[in-house]
Amino acid sequence: MNQRIRSVVRGKTIHLVALLTMLMLFSFEVTAQSPHETPVGRWRTFSDVTGKENGAVEIVANNGELLGRVIAGTKPNFETELCDKCPGERHNKPMKGLLVISGVRRKGEEWGGGEILDPDIGKVYRVKLRLADNGNKLLVRGYLGISLLGRTQTWVRIE
| Higher-confidence position of 14 and 38 | 38
pTM confidence score: 0.76
Do residues 69 and 99 touch, judged by C-beta distance below 8 A?
A: yes
Q: Which runs of E-coded beta strand occur in 18-94? A: 41-46, 53-62, 65-73
Alpha-carbon distance values, 78 to 2, 18, 97 (Å): 82, 58, 11
**According to the model, what pLDDT value does residue 148 have?**
85
Q: State the Cα–Cα distance between residues 49 and 16, nearest whole angstrom.
A: 59
| Whole-angstrom distance, CA of residue 151 vs CA of residue 3 | 72
Integer angstrom CA distances of residue 22 from 13, 27, 50: 14, 9, 48
For strands 150-158 and 137-143, give the pairing.
antiparallel
- Residue 17 above 60 pLDDT? no
Span 86-110, pLDDT tens digits: 999 999 999 999 999 999 999 999 9
* Confidence band, pLDDT 50/70/90 cuts, at residue 147: confident
